[in-house]
A and B are shown apart, each in its own frame.
Chain A
Amino acid sequence: MHGDGWFDEEHDGAGTFRWIGREATCRISTPSSARAAWLRVTAEHPWPPVSSPVLSVAVDGCVIGRTAVGPHACDYLFPLQHGGDFADVRLSLDRTFTVPGDPRSLGVIVRALEAVDLERADVAIDAGGWYAWERHSYFDYRWMAQEARLLVPAVLRRRGRFAAVPMYGAAEDGRQTLRLLSAGEVLLRVPLLHDWHLYDLILPDAGDGVSAPLDLTFSVDTLLPADAHPGDGRDLGLAVGALEIHDDARRHERFRLFYESAVSMGECQKPVSGDPRRSQTWLVEGGEGWYDWELEDRRFRWIRREARVRVPEAVRAGRRFIVVPICSEFTDLSQVLTVAANGEVLAEQALLDGWNEYGFDLAGVSEGPVELAFRVNKAIDASHGAHEPRELGARVGAFTFHDDAELHARTRLCYENAALNRRELDQGATELASFPVSLGIDLFGKCNIKPPCVYCLWDRTKEAEGDDVDVAIDDRTLEQYADFFCLARTVVNCSFGEPLLHPRLSEILDLLGRHRKSAEISTNGQSFTPAAVTALAGRNLAVYVSLDAASAPTYARLRNERWHEVLTGLMFLRDARRKAGGLPRLNMVFMPMRANLSDLEGFFRLCRMVDADAMVLRPLNYLEHSGIVVDRGGYHFDYDRELLTGEEQEAVFQQCERYAKQYRVRVISQFDFQSARRQERPRGGRRP
């Protein structure tokens, strides 16, 4: 109840507030248990010309604390020693100010004033040094400057030995250090990793019968430079999300392993250089007839009908072969590319529909810089690009120079096979001389999610696998597939099992890399370990992570309670990918169903946070009377009822379109399988 000294209520973007003058009084109700009660005042002093005033707080005539009020909304906590049902609170300031045109003598803004019972509270209480909560990232968070205090009530503390705290390390060089103190004693001193991580900390033993809150102080040694947050006048040290107490030792161990691995590498924030898998790749610089770099599922530049570029001597470095990824929009091999080096025609070949790699031999081209010229016989028809004023010939990706004659031969053979396959398709041939351009493989038949995901047809599939259920398939098997493997442009793992658990994962990835396959691997994300992430980093493949959820409760409905382990792995995978030039590409899979629709926006935020290349919208397969009914995570999952109707799917697509723009996340819709949802495009026309 407001007494004297309060001005009228006002509103701004952050909520309602009242100004107070030099002194203001009010009466608040207090908790019955006075032992653990605290008074929380949320206040700010947003008038920089006047230095911060000092706020004194008195209860029933006794001063219980003093604090300087900062320019941004912060919580200030004071011990409330009071026995009654109500407390008379008096707020006093040492100074006020006036602004032109306002007759009021203003002190500070008060946004909230309340008593908090730390004996009963089951959430951590901000106790000074924190700015207001912000809610536009995957984690809700608030910034602190150099130091901030948090009280963990006893009820909460007794829930477990570990505290999971999302924190955003702002320093890119990893040189920011966090100190965590309790009662003046340093509990922890750790270097902060760049970007968001879900730190899992060991708490001091609470002991039985402890009722006092745990008083934690977060302290960092450096603040962000002001130019890192232009337009924001606050001192920013660290962004911290909501603290969660848990008792899951496995979860703690997963974080510890990742964190120690990252820290022990020391230079974890520095980009990898000299990686042989990438050292020969050149992102075309400059040139005539080239447009700027763009990013879809890979980086590329559009070229006009004619384009040329000078490859510096240091890039070619005397290598004999060049691989050029090109994407043609023409489906009928009617677009023909002519490539010339230093004025001599190297090759002339029909371009395949979509992305393909084309290999050219530079044997006859003299040492030194090379002038490469590309010419296509036709550009995209203007009638198919009404909103595109540019002359567009084809999309061209990063060049790779190498000396591997076998690889060059394989690249040529893959192209010839794909071209033959296309011709046979166009002719409607039923017996094919060509081999498939996309090969589905079955790397590993065992899974670490037991029982399986609620919608998984695990038992039926394993029954169908019959005697082959335990057949080992690895890199040696793939080589035995001969032309089926060698001539395939794309290799997709379609196991009913978790491929990252494969004992020969590295060898398989090496083989795929040697053959420059466009490989796709789906994982449930629960097998991300430092070793698995290291094995994946820098590989030119697409990793699909099947999540279908953006929160622990939804994840538990579909899989199990290991959401935070997956989340931890994804954040470390993000760091590893950044070091390795964005590889592997990360696609986050979401199958919309009734159980997870509420997580859709959160999923986009998650994609953004982990730097995903795309969000993949995949349909929950239609099954005729699946008979799949599972109770899990407090949810009754009935497969048949989880399927969305056509109208509901459309609504999801529209939401995805909106979130894709808002969070700048690319969406790949697998509902578009074989253009099932799209207008058929004209033959020889541009992709819609």
Chain B
Amino acid sequence: MELKRVVVTGLGTVNATARSASTFHRALRAGHCGIGPVSVFDPSDFRTQTGGEVRDFKPRDMLPRFISLKRLSRSDAMAMVAAIEALTDAGLFPVPDQLRPELGVVIGGGAGGMLECEAVYRDYLQGRGKRPAYSAFASFGCASSADQIAGQLQLMGPKTTFMTACSSGATAVGYARDLVQTGAATAIVCGGTEPLCRITYSAFNSLQAVDPQYCKPFDKNRQGMSLGEGAGVMILEELGHAERRGARVYGEVLGYGVSCDAHHMTSPDPEGGGAVLAMARALEDAGIPPAAVDYINAHGTGTPANDKIETKAIKHLFGERAYRIPVSSSKSMTGHTLGAAGAIEGVVSLLALHHGFIPPTIHCTTPDPECDLDYVTEGARAADLKIVLSNSFAFGGNNTALVFSKFSQQGERP
């Protein structure tokens, strides 16, 4: 079977720092922090009260009238906004009729409709109200985002949803790339979405994995992550199709790798074995040597364990050259958007490739001897990037790494 080249022709995002990919580009350049007090629910009883919230999110004002918001959870609505932005950005909205059977949807999820469902559950447990609003459960689970996007836009290509916790969004992009590469679809609306919700917030707090202030990835005094929310969506398209319609190309999805630590459900393998495997597989799939990587968009959650082990894994794979590769964490700005993170960071990677810059790691001010790489702490940096590696690691030991490249017609490999 002939494998097709897969390019990215549209981007969309909603997150704590931005309501669109273009405003996200400016926020990343400015090193804007989206982490602040949480208001989507009352956090006053929790150990911490901050997060990367999408404030004043009004999907009705951001979507065409014909898109119904009935039974869309917050998570679904964020995915829908990002998906329509990405399709519009790609010049594929409204979706051409002849493309509908060949256009798929692959979404990585996290808590799905939990924000709405947990409120119903709470009322039920606390005996409030006459009868629980069971209709909220129509959008329970992660599948409803993809169902709503495909259903309302009448898309008939392959559709599915991954839930691998913090690597869901990255895995969705990787799988979508396979589908386009092997001809199962001409294009895929792919990405991830995640809402802030009480159960997730409480879970990470109970594990003491959350920084009470804001996350400080790779900083000596880091105390944990900041939970965030949002959606990141990109349009993956078969190169020939993109060229025939004269689409703008942000970059190419060169490869991806997935592995499992097989070590512990919530703690990463201290040797970083699974992380190294995922990165190495992604480079192998992309057909490029480690020496070709110009920038690493790190998982960089800000937990003591992740940042130390990710640094170790990068050194293991890249050797001495690790010290010359810029590595930054956009979670320092957006917070950790869990199921959406891999996709939002995919959007970051493509903006970086397309616009020629490296986004910074903010809040990293005190050097840590165990985190001694170039974390781009001084602010965004201009750079002509050819190859970007984006890492996503997760609960369950689920690791995914994505490799994006600047588009060149010849497709020559470094």
B and A form one assembly: no
Tell me the B residues contacting A by CB distance below 8 Å: none
